[in-house]
Chain A
Amino acid sequence: MKKVYANATEALDGVISDGMMIAAGGFGLCGIPELLLEAIKDSGAQNLTFASNNAGVDDFGIGILLQTKQVKKMISSYVGENAEFMRQYLSGELELEFNPQGTLAERMRAGGAGIPGFYTKTGVGTVIAEDKEHKDFNGETYILEEGIFADLAIVKAWKADDTGNLIFRKTARNFNVPAATCGKICIAEVEEIVPRGSLDPDAIHLPGIYVHRIIQGEHEKRIEQRTTRKKEEA
């Protein structure tokens, strides 16, 4: 089966629809599926729910879908960098479900692994635990969190082969792996599609079984906080 598509718009064809729950990879602006987000904007799909650690910035990442009011709900751990997000949230236009970062990652991982719920001590005694089942194990209290089963996963990797085996680069791996696994369909955008056999099978970060469609493209890879030191300090 052919997995490679010409571009993000073609890869979304027949997949994207109104009201979808989409799991997206990335941390801040690092490793976000920027081409697919742009194409989702162009598709005009409405009332989308995103499970994504962050919401991008105003003009990049998921932020561009907030500008066009295509997002109904965000499931995130931190949304501090986005003014339009805050405006829509405070005016009641946008739903927001805060998840602790590790809980969000594990909810995606669990969903992808066929596990509908798990107990964690993260958030016990906080607002996160309100209305959730509590259970004691070995004298310690845990809360029940549910796996995320997304309609679509969109991720960004460094390299892929045409069977969808993926390799990520440095800290751009982040949420891309758990997000990819929890989607009914996963589309991966990569910097380079390499010939079959040229990736070391022992070095694959995400096996192609999780990836249904692949595109290659030019990435802006914007830096959110450029911090450096002077040579003299070394």
Chain B
Amino acid sequence: MPWDRNQMAARAAQELEDGMYVNLGIGIPTLVANYVGDKDITLQSENGMLGMGPFPFEGEEDADLINAGKQTITELSRTSYFDSATSFAMIRGGKIAAAVLGAMEVDEEGDLANWMIPGVLVKGMGGAMDLVAGVGRVIVVMDHTNKHGKSKLLKKCTLPLTGKKVVNRIITNLGVLDVVDGGLKIIEIAEGVTEDEIRASTEANIVN
């Protein structure tokens, strides 16, 4: 059985180490926060906050306290606030240990596309290009194939890039792969999935 959304998020949470400052993207990456357990992880929200807390209780929403997805959130005892220039200074400056984010395509060189589909309404890259260029480690969490069954792990990205040679690790519903010299290396296979299934669903070169 391939992993579901929550299992993928739980697997991504294993990547995070005690003491890390981490930025989580929108979608499945947001769920990662539910699986960090006892690890001391500080979440960054690029609109200007370290130490992001959970959603507020009903009636306790604060218009001045949102995350990068514009959702109302809460603060923690460790929280600090800062302006957008300072926020991206810590991102670009390599102070954020890791970013977990979704993707449309990743290729065997570690190129990432997740912001634009030509001909479809363009919304903008937000902070994604800064994050992938700046953080210590980029972990992509996404389905292995798109809704047409086509591989999202390609030899070469076809969509406009978010960053070039930026991805370190890819966690999909089928398993975990690293970007290494010459292609992608299978690190882990989801329980009940075979290596042949991963290979059949991967267009990118797989190295042993």
Contacts and interface: CB of A to CB of B under 8 A. Distances in A.
A218 to B, nearest CB: 13
Contacts of A169: 64
A161 to B, nearest CB: 19
Contact of A226 (B61, B123, B162): B61
B49 to A, nearest CB: 5
Interface stretch (A8-16, A41-49, A101-109, A194-202): A101-109
Given A124-B133, A125-B164, A170 B62 contact: yes
A205 to B, nearest CB: 8
A178 interface: yes
A97 to B, nearest CB: 11
A171 B81 contact: yes
A225 B73 CA distance: 10
A213 B125 CA distance: 33
A228 B56 contact: yes
B125 to A, nearest CB: 6
Given A223-B61, A223-B63, A228-B56, A122 B84 contact: no
Contacts of A29: 63, 70
Interface stretch (A64-72, A77-85, A131-139): A77-85
A30 B47 contact: yes
A18 interface: no
B91 interface: yes
B47 A124 contact: no
B70 A53 contact: no
Sort A-B residue pairs by CB-CB distance and give the 7 closest, nearest first. Answer: A102-B88, A125-B164, A80-B123, A102-B130, A177-B83, A78-B124, A221-B63
